[in-house]
Each structure stands twice: as C-alpha cells, then as structure tokens.
Structure 1
C-alpha cells in the first residue's frame, strides 16, 4: 500500500518496502509481550461479572456498595490513563509498562486477601490504575513500534487481547462458579488467576526494547536506530529514522511541547477534542455495561442465575471472533467507514433489544433467548467495527510530542464515562428496565454517528510522521480522500 501525500513533505511511498525476515518475527514477539497488558485489562474488568454476587454475599454488600466495588476500578483507571500517559512521555513506554505489571500483581494480592470492603476497594483502585495505564501506554507503544503498513492490525492486537482476557474471565467464572460454588470465598479464586499474566508481563517486558519514536524525541537516535534494526530491514530502519529525526527537529525548533503546543495551535486542540469525543462515544454505546453486568441483564431477561453465568460466555466468544475479523479488516477498510458502520449497527441493536424487551413479556419462554441473541449481535457489531478501531485510532492520531498526553486525556474521559455508567447502570435498569435503558442507548448512538460523520478525519495508510504533519497544519481536516495503489 502506498499513498499520495498532498499536504506535507513526508511520503510513505519513499520508504523501502517492509519485506520479510527475522525482523518480522521479532516484531510479532514484541507485540505479543506488550499485549499481555491488554490481557490483564480484559481479565480484571471482566472478572467482576461473575465474581460480584458471591463477593457481595460474603462481604455483605448492598446494591450501592456493589456499584462502589465495581466502579472504583473504573474511576481509578481514568486517573491511571492520564497520569501514566504523561509518565510514559517522560519516563519511557517500556519502563511504564513494567511498572503497570507490578501494580497488576499488587492490586490482585489486595483483592484476593481483602477482609472487608475498604481493602477490596483499595485493591480495585490499584488494579484500576494499572488498567488505565495499560489502556493508554500499550496501544501507544504498539503504534510507535509498528510500520505504517500493518499499524492497524498490529496495534489492534491489544484490543484482541482485551477481549480474550474478558472471555477468559467469563469462562473461568462459569467453571469455578458452577463447580466450586460451595467453597467459601470462591470469588477470590476468580481474582487470583490475574497474578499469572501479571508475572508474564513483568518478565517479558524486561527483554523488550523501548519505543524508537520515544528515543528519537529524547535525542537518543543511535539507540532508536538499534531498536529499528531489530524490527525492520536495515535500509528501512535507516529511512524511518530519517523521517523521525526530521519531525523531532521541527518540533524542537517550533517549541512544540505538551500542553503549551496544544493550546497554542487550534489544530492540535481540535484533534484532542476529537479524541475525547470518540472515547466518550465508544463508552456511551453501553458495551462495558454488558461486559460488567451481563449476568444481571440476562437474569433480568429471564435466565436463572446459574444459566445466566453460562450464557454470559456467548458475548465473550463473539467479542473474540469480532476482534479477529476487525484485525483482518483494519488495514483494508478506512477508519471513518468502520466507525460509521459500527455505530449504525450498534444503534439498531439497541433498538431491537428495547423492542424485544417491550413486546416479549416476562415469563415468555423465548424472551431470554431472543434478548441473549440480540446482545450477542450488539457485542459482535461493537467488537468488529468499533472497539479495535477506536483504540487503534487513538494511538495513531496524536503528534509525537503530545501522544502520551493526548491519548491519556482521551482515555481519561473514556474511563470517566465508563465509571459513571458502571456506577448507575444497575440503578437505571431498576428504574426503567431493559426497554428504557436500551432505547436511551439508541438515542445516544444516533448522536455518536452524527459526530463521527461530521468530525472524524481519516488516518489509514499513513505513517505517524505524515499524519503528524497534517494534524499540526490542519491539512487532515481538509483532505477528504487520498489515492491508494
């Protein structure tokens, strides 16, 4: 894939082809290790789905404190996203991910041995800081180390690992919950599993190189070239370093650094607002309400508690299938088209769930299965067209000097939105039922679709350096299409 670049001096077609060889295998190994952060993200956010009821029974939680136990991780993730984004800008992507592995492990220990709600919430906060940090730093690291030709599919592997982690949580919950339900503290076993990938992430990242783009920003060009030569052919590594050094020098001369650059350049402020808006829109689909409280929704639809625990695996399975499909499309279908298809499908799914809940009365034997089917359609649409694409888009749209900041702030708002939905979702279902809840999601989905159509610029098939030029100058908002060959 080559692009004609009409607005700047950098051209993707001038780069040597990516080629094949040991560097491609090394790139895959680096990506796999880093995405253990996504696996932990998924497991820690998904495990509450099946662990909540036995946890509440043992610790004496009421509906409000159940919401506190769930949402404490989410709000902490918002803080972790913005602070770790800034930390990774100054300290490095690799070191920050290693720190996150430690937080995942320590948080797990606190949760597993929690004697009361206070210690439980402390552990969930530590896990939340790690989850938020991983949601910001891992996609940035993957985008920065990936060649532009496969950046979408490589960076999108993190979202695949997130849903694999969530599916693992659902399956483990179902197995443990139905075989060890007589064991006191069964929910602690569910959480303890998280320690294993945390150890794997820590050990693996000790052998992973730093982001070459971050090294260039810090003036460590020789180290950056050495890293690039391990994941590129030699001529490609030298050519990419030249582009990186050019952009870094231009930023240094222009004095473009962090917040100061954002508020002094309306184009940078605009791209930050677009990132924030896209993150909020993704969460307002209600996807994580299903991933956290799917068992509750299925019980509300008519399943028994044990049947709901098993049926809840179905959305997890379709999420993984959707992620594989998304990765296959990521470098072939434009981001804007992907978003428009995704928000259209999820909005229709919301309408159908609301209609089914309204027309099929409680007690109707087919009601729970129809709603389960529509929930699976919703999750599949979300995963195939939105979740992977949103995380890839956020990791690639921001210029280097504000990438950690921009990603951090956008994901901060994403997690805040997620947190409020988590805190009030059960109360919303209790107040207006499944019908009103999903009709409300449909209205919000229509507004999100309008936002994407009006404001989201295209990014596929571009190097990060070429995108950076167009974002900084504003050309990305005016060039609607590019020739691809």
Structure 2
C-alpha cells in the first residue's frame, strides 16, 4: 500500500465515497468557520486605533486595560464552555441537526448584539454578545464532529471530520486578514472596527440556512428507535439499496453495538453518566480531556487571541506590520490544514501526526524562547527593523506553525469524535469540547499576564508541554484510523497501545473473510431476498 491508499476495514463500494456525505460534512462545518473567525478577529480588532479611541482606552492604566481586553476575549470561551455542556442535553432530545440549528441561532443573536455597541453605550453589548455567541459556538463545537463522524464511512472519517478543522482555519484566515484590510483601506471610524464584528453573521447565517437541508444523523435515529427513517437516511447517504451487502453489514454493526450497550449500560439520558463508573469509560474521558490540555499547552490559542502581543515579543513593531505578520500566519495554517485534510489524517494516522508535530513544534519553541532571552528584542522599541536573529525567530515561528497545524490543530477533534460508543459519544464529546473551552478560557484570560511576568519563559513552558505530550500519545492513544465506530471498544482493550490498530484490523479482515465464506456457502443471492426484511427487524448480526 502507498501512503495515498485508503485503508479500509472491509471491501467498500465506490458509491459510498460520494458527494452527499461530503456536502453534509461541509455544511455542518460552517459552524467551524464561525468559531475560527471569532477566535481570530477579536485580538487584532481590539488593537485597532479606532476601537481604542471609541472606547477611550487611553484613560485606563496598563494593568486595567489588560484586564478589560482579557475579559472581552475570555467571556467568549466561558460561554462556549457552558454551550458545549448544554449540547449534550439538546443532542439527546433534539438530535444532532436540530441542535446545530439551535446553537447557530444563539450565535446569531449574540453577534447581532455586538453591533449595537458604541462609545456612549460602552462595552456591555460586546461583552454580553460574546457570551451568547460563545454559548452558540460551544454547542456547535460539540455537535459538528459527532454529526460528521456518525455519517462518515470509516476509511474517510478523518478527512470528513477534518473538514471541521478546515472550516475553522478558513474562518481564522478571514479573521486575521479582515482587520488588516480595514486598517489599511479605511480611515479610523466607528465603521472601521464595526465591520469585523459584522462579518461574524456570514458563517453563522450559512450554518443556520444549511442545517435546514441536511439530514439527521442515521446513528442517532437508530438510537431513538426510528429505524425506517434511519435506513432511508443511511441508504441516501451511501447511495446504496437497503438490501445491499454493505448496508446490511453496517446496520448489523450498529444494532449489535446498541444492543450490547442497552444490556451493559442502558439507553437513556442519565445512563451514560452511570457508565462513568466503568474504568474503561473513565479512561477514555480522561484521554479526551488530556488531548485538549496538550493542544492548548502548545501555545496555539495564546497566538490566536493575542497575536500582536506574541509578535511584539519577538520584535515586530508597528500596527500594520503586526497585522500583516498575523495574516501570513493565518495563510500558513490554512494551507497546511488542506494538506492535513487531503493527505495526512487518513494516511499517516492520528498517532504519528501528533508525535511528529509535538517534537518539531517543541524544538521551534525552544529556539524562539532562547532568541528572546539572549537578544531581548522588546528592550529596543526604537528599532523598526528585525535583526538576523529576529528574522530567524520569525522563520521558526512559521516552522512551528508547519508542525502544529497538520497535527495538534485538528487531530484531537477527530479522535474524540470517534473513540466513544453510541451511548456515551455525545457525553464524551461534551467532555472534550468543555475541556477545550475551559483551557481556551484560561489561556485567553491570562496570556498577556504570562508574557508580562515570564517573558521568554512562556515559550519554554509551551515547549516543555509539547515534549510531555509525545510520551502521553505513544503510551496512551491507540491509532483509530479506518476502524468502524462500533469497533472502538475492542481497540481500547488491546495491548500494547502502539500495536492495537494493526492487531484489530487483522481481526476484522479475518472476520470479514469468515462472513464471506459463510454467505458464499449459503448463496448470497438467496440472502439478498431476505436481507432488507432482516435489516428492518434488526435481526442481522455480523
């Protein structure tokens, strides 16, 4: 097999890899566009002279101004934390699609509130609007990966969930450049800083409209006992008849998984919480949380939210120069996300990407911190040109981006969307998303104070955490690529962890060969006559 070959758990008809599954995943990923945009535009917009003048930032002391800016940024993450938890409730009662609609509506209301702010009204509408918008994006950050993973064929599940990350980066790219654009083309005014806030409505509106037309997750429909509707959605999504062998097998996997968990755990709103008493479930919840601790420990959100502060620490001077450098950062991230999405995630696998990205990124952070320690570029504010060492630091910053983006940026979302069983998937994703936003909040709330107190030590701190993450991934995270969602319980039981995927894939292929031989002995043509009826009754087991 070449690096570009798809690794399948069983023979898969080409019809399964069709435009419908990509269209549904792309539509749901508009949620990520609004998340990425909101994460990127706020830091540079707060640095616009027109925004500073409108809200009279000059009247505040440096420490008071830092507190105000951190509050504006961090209340968004606080809202997202609670939104990600609320999504568990909505997903159970409303489903994945209606949850996306609901949280998109919250986001739109919050984004609209921000547009009413001005100097005379103060910052209250912006802060309140960011809390509500954050609540919306928190819910969407929970629902989108689950929705995509539940409709995706195993061999391209990483790629499809990766569309979520691509949407995040596209939104971030627009967010980084929008402020540079208004700063260079418009005179300082109320309109100048209001435009970046207004652009939030575009991705939010696209999700709100698009979610009306996409179908509900077939696995959620099976979970709720809506078999006929679930079969229709699944057949439409796979472009296969319900008596096709692939559909019969997929439904059998789903039924078997649901039956087992109804026996062992039980279906219901509170049952997944009771499942947390099991060590194996606790372990996966712990892994999901740690993945996002290490993701935020890489330093990415410190850069996303306070990029002007980060570039000033390296020695970049001037508002426009800082915005331009930040914009290039967004371009590099988006380009590398495309490579990750189209080539790396479903071919190199999750584990290899995380370990390679952490090692390379850590080395880059050590270099940047050492440069700042030795040269202290912020001590000479009158020098508007970068030294050769400063240029090297900028190069290593972009090299860090090249290591981080196709590894830790989106891969934790992919792993969390696929490693839980049907009964605990929504709760597991709520746990992962809440942890993501919790650590986002901490980074957003204290980054500027960290830079003021630690200086170059901030980079050494992030570099150390990235090295620790390599050990964590190697010993604790099994490879999940190409495996059916219903096989994840088996994967996490296999030791050693670093060989688990290979061992399970061999078992699944052997089981598929046995199934082929059994059906060949009976005669598949006769089997097809009753397969549709068996699927409807839930009687088929593989």
Normalized against structure 2, the TM-score is what? 0.83
- In the alignment, the residues of structure 2 paired with residue 357 and residue 71 of structure 1 have an alpha-carbon distance, to the nearest angstrom, of 27
Q: 1:375 aligns with which of 393, 397, 402?
A: 397
Aligned to 1:230: 236
- Counterpart in the other structure of 1:278: 291
Q: Using the alignment, how far apart are the partners of 1:470 and 1:429 within structure 2?
A: 42
- Residues 402 and 58 of structure 1: is their aligned pair in 2 closer, same or farther, counting only changes over 3 Å? same
Partner of 2:414: 392
**Counterpart in the other structure of 2:78:** 75
2:494 alignment counterpart? 475
* 2:450 match: 428
Distance 1:374 1:181, change over 3 A: farther
Checking the alignment, whether the CA contact within 8 Å between 2:308 and 2:323 is kept in structure 1 is yes
The alignment status of 1:360 with 2:375, answered yes or no, reads yes
CA RMSD of aligned residues (A): 1.9
Q: C-alpha separation between the residues in 2 aligned to 1:221 and 1:155? A: 25
Aligned residue in 1 for 2:32: 38
Q: How do residues 15-34 of structure 1 correspond to structure 2 at under 5 angstroms? A: 16-20=11-15, 24-34=18-28
Q: How does 1:196-215 map to 2 (within 5 A)?
A: 196-215=202-221
Secondary structure of the corresponding residue to residue 401 of structure 1: coil
Q: How far apart are the structure 2 equivalents of 1:468 and 1:188?
A: 49
The reply to whether residue 315 of structure 1 matches residue 329 of structure 2 is yes
1:342 to 335, 357, 365: 357
For residue 185 of structure 1, report the CA deviation from its aligned partner. Answer: 4.6
- Structure 2's unaligned 5+ residue stretches are 2-7, 58-64, 378-382, 507-542
How is 1:250-269 mapped onto 2 (pairs within 5 angstroms)? 250-256=260-266, 257-263=271-277, 265-269=278-282
> Is residue 448 from structure 1 mapped to residue 469 from structure 2 by the alignment?
yes
Shift of 1:63: 1.1
Rounded Cα–Cα distance in structure 1 between residues aligned with 2:390 and 2:179? 21
* Mapping 1:211-222, distance limit 5 Å: 211-222=217-228
Q: Following TM superposition, by how much is the alpha carbon of 1:368 offset from its aligned partner in structure 2, in angstroms? A: 4.4
What SS does the corresponding residue of 1:460 show, helix, strand or coil?
coil
1:464 is aligned to 485
Q: Alpha carbons of 1:368 and 1:313: their partners in 2 closer, same or farther (altered >3 Å)?
A: farther
Check the 8 A contact 2:104/2:137 in 1, yes or no.
Answer: no
- Output the TM-score relative to the length of structure 1: 0.92
Give the C-alpha shift of residue 449 in structure 1: 2.0
2:339 is equivalent to residue 325 of structure 1:
yes
Is the contact between residue 450 and residue 458 of structure 2 (CA under 8 Å) also seen in structure 1?
yes
Compared CA separation, residues 174 and 317, structure 1 to 2 (3 A): same
Q: Which has the greater radius of gyration?
A: 2
Say whether the 8 Å CA contact 1:148–1:464 is kept in structure 2.
yes
Segments of structure 1 that go 5 or more residues without pairing to the other structure are 2-11
Residue 435 of structure 2 corresponds to 413
Deviation of residue 325 (structure 1)? 1.4
Structure 2 CA distance for partners of 1:85 and 1:319, relative to 1, 3 Å: farther
Tell me if structure 2 keeps the 8 A contact 1:322–1:381. no
